[in-house]
Every structure is written in structure tokens, then in C-alpha cells.
Amino acid sequence: MRKNLYRFLAAGVILAAVAGMAGCSEKKDETVSTAAASEAETQKNDSKAAADTEIGFPKDETITLVVPGKAGGGSDLGIRYYSEGLNRLYGLKTTVTNYDSNTVGHQTVANAKPDGTTLTVATSALNIQYITGNTDIDPNKDFTLIACLQDNGFLTLAVPADAPYDDFAGFVEYAKEHPGELNAGMPASGSNTFLFGMLSKELGIELNSVECASEADRLTNLAGGFIDVGVVGVGNAVEYEKAGKLKVIGTVASDGITIGDYPEELPDNYKTLQEQGYENCTMSIYHYLLGPAGMDEKMVAEMNEAMKAVAEDPTVKDGIASIGCIPGWHDLEESKEIHDKEYAQFVDIAKSLGVCEVE
């Protein structure tokens, strides 16, 4: 079964001071001074209110935010936006630490004291590694879920520019008529592998797996016609499609997300597969703020609530959107529901791939 299948996402506030009559200069100066003093007092009061708020996060210790990946990646940038927001809004002392191996990064957090000083923002890689037996770090037992944050956004399905189909429906029809003949570029194991596993399971198609771990590799091989389909980021997809190097046949996103949620307007061929009528062709990949298992429940509830202000802060929100994600925050109950649903989907896909190592 696995053999068959593997053959197969300041404005600064402008203070407009309009001068009136020339004889009112003294009054204007007095007004501006009063406004400045008032603003300073407001900021002072806001800072005091933040300092007095119970936010769960340790206020007198440095908080280490672990990145389970190298600097410069999406997870790294996202964590750094949150780090800046925690520092600016609550005056917390934070430091960001990268680990080239996401397994080592995950293990570092799982082994830390449950005092809120060592946290991470992890994605589905944590679930996939455990479900496939590549690590014994259990995402459900070795961590405390603090908050579900941004949605990873859109995964773009691209095909060569001269492919014998121009849309996803044509791709599916061709794949069914030529089982095992279309080469899908993907990592040996990862979210893209699971995405193609989901498509194969839901659509009843058979694809041939070709090792293409990086997006750069997939773009090169798509442009050269060496693979027949691959997942790339929206930004690169737009650029390469304009240059005539590939065609986009759709995007994959979470259930209910539409291409209208993307911050820029995109043509119809970027619509999600769900929008195109393939109701079950969705995949949720969220980012979760996690700490070690055993954290105090009151602390976790306060941290979750504190993250709402951080996630909705305009600077943080724009930063998260700039890396292609859909900004968001969910309370503890919603966070658990989302995580459990995502985990269950990956277990189901892993079983269809023949690589599931959990019950």
C-alpha cells in the first residue's frame, strides 16, 4: 500500500495640527503641550496597568522562546514577532533560541521546568514526527497547550506550464486515467507528504513520490518539467506563474478558509480546493504556543488570555500576515478542539499512507 502511494502554506498616528489665526500661536502651543502631557500620562497609566495585570508569564525572569528550526524560517519569524509583542506590551524579558533540529527543540521544551520560562511555538511537525514513530515526544502528554495561534495559510498546488491540464479538475481526471504516472515532488516525510496523502485518499488517485525537500528544489523541477505537481508558497507561485514557468491549479487551506482571506487579491485559479467543490480536501496546520507538561492551570489560563492582546496587536498581526500566515488567537477550549481535530486528521492520513505508529 505504501509502495503504491509513494509512487505518488507608524502608521504612526499622524497628529494633524492645523494652525488657525496667527494671533492664536500662544494658545496653540499651550494646547499641544497639554496634549503631549496627557498622552504621556496615558502611556504611563497603560504601562502601570500592564504591569499590574495577571498575565501568567513570569515577570521577573527571562522567558526563553524555543524555535524548533533554523533562523529565518516562518516559525522563527513568527516567534520573534510574539517575542517583541510580549516585551513591548507587558515589559517581559524574552530571548529567542534556535535549534537546527526540530526534534531537539521540542525535547528541550518537554524537558524544561513547568514554570513558564521555557516555551515554544510548534506546528504539525511535532504531531507528524510522533505519529510516524520518528520521535517518542508525545504532543498530547509531554506538553501543555497554552494557545492556538495563527493558521499556516495557503499551500499552493503548482504544475508545469505545459501540463496537459489547466485546472485542478483536469489534474484529477488525468491522474485517474494515468495512475502512478504523475510525479509529485515532496519531502520524504512532512506536511507536504501528508497533503498528497490526503489528496490521494480523498480523490482516489495514485501519485509517484519524488524527493524534493525544499521549495527551491520544487520550483526548479516544476519549471524544468521534472515533476508534475508540487507545493509552493503563494508569493513564489505568483512570481513564477507571471514568468510563465508554472501553472497554479488551486490552494489547500483549513476547513472554511477561502482565498479571500489572503491579504492580496488573487485570480480564481488560486481558489482553495474546497471552494472548487472538493469539500474534504482541506488541511489544518496551526501554530501552537506550548510549554512543558505539568504547568499550573491558572498560569496557563492567564497566559492564554494575555496572548490575545499580543496576537491582536497591529504590529504583531501585520508581521504574522507578512510571512503568509493568517493571524489568530483562540481560547483554551477552542485551542484544544482545533489541536485534537488536526491531530486526528494526521493519524487518519498516516494510516492511509501505511506509516502510522500510534493507535
Interval 10-48: pLDDT, tens: 333 333 333 333 333 333 344 444 544 554 454 445 444
**Has residue 50 been placed in a domain?**
no
Q: Are 287 and 150 a contacting pair, CB within 8 Å?
A: yes
pLDDT at 116: 97
pLDDT at 27: 35
95 lies in the same domain as 144 = yes
Q: Are 321 and 231 a contacting pair, CB within 8 Å?
A: no
**Has residue 4 been placed in a domain?**
no
| SS3 label, residue 230 | strand
Mean pLDDT of 50-79: 88
Distances 95 to 61, 86, 89 between C-alpha atoms, Å: 11, 11, 15
Predicted TM-score (pTM) of this structure: 0.80
Residue span of the structural domain in which 213 resides = 155-270
- Distance from first CA to last CA of the chain, Å, rounded? 19
CATH code of the domain covering residue 332 = 3.40.190.150
pLDDT at 71: 87
Q: Which of 235, 270, 305 is the last residue of a domain?
A: 270
Mean pLDDT of 70-79: 88
pLDDT at 186: 93
Mean pLDDT of 334-355: 95
Average pLDDT, the chain: 87
CATH code of the domain covering residue 217 = 3.40.190.10
Phi/psi region, residue 189 (left: phi>0; alpha: psi -120 to 50; beta: rest), is: beta
Give the DSSP per-residue string, 115-154: SSSEEEEE-THHHHHHHTTS----TTTSEEEEEEEEE---
**Has residue 9 been placed in a domain?**
no
Q: Are 119 and 146 a contacting pair, CB within 8 Å?
A: yes
Count Cβ atoms below 10 Å from residue 64 Cβ, excluding itself.
Answer: 17
**Has residue 31 been placed in a domain?**
no
DSSP run (H or E) holding 184: strand 183-186
- The yes-or-no verdict on residue 313 having pLDDT over 90 is yes
Q: Which of 236, 270, 304 is the last residue of a domain?
A: 270
d(CA 224, CA 232): 15
pLDDT at 255: 93
**Has residue 172 been placed in a domain?**
yes
Grid coordinates in use for 281? 480536501
Q: Which of 213, 243, 270 is the last residue of a domain?
A: 270
pLDDT at 49: 47
Q: In DSSP terms, which residues pair with 115 in a beta bridge?
A: none
**Has residue 8 been placed in a domain?**
no
Side-chain-facing half-sphere of 231: CA atoms under 13 Å: 22
d(CA 178, CA 182): 7
Residue 208 CA from chain centroid, whole number? 27
Distances 78 to 124, 155, 320, 348 between C-alpha atoms, Å: 15, 18, 6, 28
pLDDT at 1: 40
Grid coordinates in use for 144? 501543555
162 lies in the same domain as 266 = yes
Q: Are 151 and 324 a contacting pair, CB within 8 Å?
A: no
**Has residue 13 been placed in a domain?**
no
* Counted domains in the chain: 2
- The yes-or-no verdict on residue 183 having pLDDT over 60 is yes
Is the sign of the CA dihedral 340, 342, 348, 354 positive or negative?
A: negative
